[in-house]
Amino acid sequence: MTDATPKRARLTHYVVQAHFVVDDGDKLTRKRIDPVEVDADEIDAFLAEKLPASLAKFETELNGGDA
């Protein structure tokens, strides 16, 4: 038997699919957003910046504003 380098698993990316619930005051409507691939080294920035920006844009569009 030879000394082989142990194999390692490496996380390369995430597939993120956000689900929002639209609350119009009378009912809740679930809205699914298309999945997005995010490189593993960019996940922190995605969660801290891009996802909140996407939510803000979505809310602006819901309220009839220009996004």
Asked if the structure places residue 2 within a domain, the reply is no
Alpha carbon distances (Å) from 58 to 14, 39, 43 = 22, 23, 20
Residue 27: give the domain boundaries.
13-62
CA angle 59, 24, 31 (to 5 degrees): 60
Q: Is 38 inside any structural domain?
A: yes
Which pLDDT score is estimated for 14? 97
> Does the pLDDT at position 13 exceed 70?
yes
The number of distinct structural domains making up the chain is 1
pLDDT of residue 16: 93
Residue 5 lies in a domain: no
| Residue 11 C-alpha from the chain's centroid | 16
Domain contains 31: yes
Q: pTM score, two decimals?
A: 0.68
